[in-house]
Structure 1
C-alpha cells in the first residue's frame, strides 16, 4: 500500500517514524511519502517537506506567515493528487491537517487520524469536521474517547506511543548511562526550550535568565533535532551551558530537575520520573485570544491526564 503521512512537529515525526517501522512489518510492500522530519526519513519515507519549515504556532504567528501556510496547503494537495495514496494518515497538526482531510475525503482517499487534535481543550467545533472527513480516529489519551462519544463519533484508543518510544530508546542507550565529559559533580538541571524555532526564541532566553538565580547546580540544554546548532548560539554567547543533541532522554534521566516548555516533552519528562517545572510564553495577543478560547485548567499534558496539578506550571 501507499501511505501518505503528514506531521508538523518533532513529536509527530517521532510517532510517525515508529508507526512507519510497524507498518513495514505488517505490510512489507508498503511505500511512504511524508511531511515530517529526520526520523521519518530514516525509516525510508520520502520527505516532501521538513517540519522545520512547517512549525508556525500562535494566532499572530500563523497570520504573519499566512502566505507560506497557504502555499504549503496547495503544495500538499497537488502532491497527494499526483501520488494517489491508498490512505492518508494525519498526525495532530489540526490547522493544516483538517483542511487536508476535507480535500482527501472529497477525492475519495481514506483518511486516518493518528493522535487526535486537542479539540477537547479548544475549538471543539472542529469535531464536526472530523466526523465528516475522518474515516478513523485513533486516540492516545484515555479521556479522548469519552469526548468523542458526546458527539456520537466512535474513536479508538490505542495507547500513548511515548511509552514504546521511551522503552525503545532506553534499550538502545542502556549501555551508556552518562553524557560526554562535560559534567561535574553538581546537580544537573535540564533545559528543554521546545522543538520549534518560535518556542526556542521565546523560552530559551527565559530559561537562561532563570539559571542565574539557581546556585550550586549545572545546566544542560537538550537541542531539538530539527534545529541546527547555529540557531542556538546567538542565545548562548553570554552563557557557558552545554548544548547536546540526540540525547534528550539521557539528559532528562540524569537530571535532578528540568525546565520544560509545555508540550509532549512534559509527558516524556514525567514518564522518565524527573521533577519538572512546565513553562510557556506566548505573544501577548495570542495569549489574550487563547484565554478566551481554551477550555481546560492546565497547559501541561501531565496535569491534563491526571486532572490535577501534579507538576508546577
Structure 2
C-alpha cells in the first residue's frame, strides 16, 4: 500500500515514525511519502517537507506567515494527487490537515486521522468536518472517545503511543551520561523550553532566572532537534549545560524539570520526573485563546487526562521568577511523593501498550474492506 502521512510538529514526527514502523511490520509493500521530521525519515520513504518549516505558533505568527501556509497547502494537494496514495494519514496539526482531508476525500482517497486535534478544548465545530471527510478517527486520550461519541463519531481509542516509546527505552547508565555531557555530580534540573525558536528564546530566559536560587543543582537544557546547537550558545555557560537529541536520557537522570506546555509535559510525567509546566505566548495570542477556550481548566496533558491538578501550571502573567522558585522547590521536596503517586495513576488511565500496532491494524483492515 501507498501511505501519505502529514505531521506538522516534533511530537507528530515521533508518533508518525512509530506508526510507520508498525505499518511496515504488517505491510511488506508499504511505500511512504510524508511531511514530518528526522524520526520519520529514519523509517524510509520520501520526506516532502520538514516540520521545522511548518510550525507557526500563535495567532499573530500564523497571520504573518499566511502566504507560506497557503502555498504549502496548494503544494501538498498537488503532491498528493501526483503520488495517488491508498490512504492519507493525518497527525494532529488541524488547521492544515483538515483542509487536506477535504481535498483527499474529493479524490476518493481514504482518510485516517491519528492523534486528534484538541477539539474538546476549542473549535469544537471542526467535528463536523471530521464527520464529512475522515473515514477513521484514532484517538490516544481516554476521554476523547467519549467526546467523539457525543458527536456521533465512532472513534477508536488505541492507547497512547508514548507508553511504547518510553517502555522500549534501554537502561541508562547515569554516570556515563554525565561524563559524556561534561556534567558534575550535582543533581540535575532539566529545562525543556519547547521546539520552536521564538518559543525557546522566550521560555529559556524565564526558566534560567531561577538559577541563583538553586546553586546546589545543575541546569541542563534539552535541545530541540529542529534547532541547531549554535542557537543555544547564548544560554549556556559553565553552570548551564546543553544536550542534543537526548531528552529522554536527560529526564531519566533529572531530579525535577521545568517544561513548556505540550507533549513534553506528558513525556516528563511518564518518565517519573516531577515538573512545573510553563507557558507564555504573545499578549494578543493569549487574549484570543482565552476567549476561545472557555470550558477546560488545564493546559497540560497530565492534568487534562487526570482531570485534576497533578502538576502546577504557570501560565502567562503567573509565569514569574518568584512563582517558579516556589513551585520548583515544592517538586524537589514537599510535593514530590504526591506527584509521583499521581503519575502512577496516570499511566493506568492511558491504557496498555501497543498504540501504534493497534492503529496500523485498523488502517490496513480499513483498506481491505
Give the TM-score normalised by the residue count of structure 1.
Answer: 0.96
* CA positional deviation for 1:228: 1.1
> What 5-or-longer segments of structure 2 have no aligned partner?
314-369
Name which of structure 1's ranges 260-269 and 200-209 shifts more when overlaid on structure 2: 200-209
* CA positional deviation for 1:44: 0.3
Q: Which residue does 2:278 correspond to in 1? A: 279
Q: Which residue does 1:310 correspond to in 2? A: 310
**Any conservation in 2 of the 1:38–1:226 contact (CA below 8 Å)?**
no
* CA positional deviation for 1:175: 5.2
Secondary structure at the aligned position of 2:287 is classed as helix
The structure whose RCO (Cα within 8 Å, separation 6+) is larger is: 2
* CA positional deviation for 1:115: 0.5
Q: Which residue does 1:102 correspond to in 2? A: 102
Instruction: Find out whether 1:253 has 2:252 as its counterpart.
Output: yes
Q: Which residue does 1:50 correspond to in 2? A: 50
Instruction: Find out whether 1:62 has 2:62 as its counterpart.
Output: yes
Q: Which residue does 2:129 correspond to in 1? A: 129
**Any conservation in 2 of the 1:258–1:275 contact (CA below 8 Å)?**
yes
Instruction: Find out whether 1:263 has 2:259 as its counterpart.
Output: no
Residues 132-178 of structure 1 show CA distances to partners (whole Å, capped at 9, x for unaligned) of 1110000000000100111111100000000001112x22xx15334
Residues 8-38 of structure 1 show CA distances to partners (whole Å, capped at 9, x for unaligned) of 1111101100110110010011000000000
**Any conservation in 1 of the 2:94–2:117 contact (CA below 8 Å)?**
yes
**Any conservation in 2 of the 1:262–1:300 contact (CA below 8 Å)?**
yes
> What 5-or-longer segments of structure 1 have no aligned partner?
none
**For residues 173-212 of structure 1, what are the structure 2 equivalents within 5 Å?**
174=171, 176-178=173-175, 179-181=177-179, 182-212=182-212
**Any conservation in 1 of the 2:259–2:275 contact (CA below 8 Å)?**
yes
**Any conservation in 1 of the 2:6–2:89 contact (CA below 8 Å)?**
yes
* CA positional deviation for 1:234: 3.1
Secondary structure at the aligned position of 1:260 is classed as strand
Residues 163-214 of structure 1 show CA distances to partners (whole Å, capped at 9, x for unaligned) of 001112x22xx15334142222222100000122232122112112222332
Residues 29-60 of structure 1 show CA distances to partners (whole Å, capped at 9, x for unaligned) of 10000000000001102100001101101111
Q: Which residue does 1:220 correspond to in 2? A: 220
* CA positional deviation for 1:287: 0.3
Instruction: Find out whether 1:27 has 2:24 as its counterpart.
Output: no
Q: Which residue does 1:234 correspond to in 2? A: 234
**For residues 135-174 of structure 1, what are the structure 2 equivalents within 5 Å?**
135-168=135-168, 170-171=169-170, 174=171
* CA positional deviation for 1:224: 1.0
Residues 100-158 of structure 1 show CA distances to partners (whole Å, capped at 9, x for unaligned) of 11111111111000000010011111111111111000000000010011111110000
Q: Which residue does 1:12 correspond to in 2? A: 12
**Structure 1 runs of 4+ off > 4 angstroms?**
none
* CA positional deviation for 1:239: 6.6
**Any conservation in 2 of the 1:302–1:311 contact (CA below 8 Å)?**
yes
> How big is the alpha-carbon RMSD for the aligned residues of Structure 1 and Structure 2?
1.2
Residues 221-269 of structure 1 show CA distances to partners (whole Å, capped at 9, x for unaligned) of 1111121112222343x67411111211111111110000000010011
Task: For 1:129 and 1:112, locate their aligned partners in 2 and report how far apart those are by CA, in whole Å.
Answer: 13
Secondary structure at the aligned position of 2:209 is classed as helix
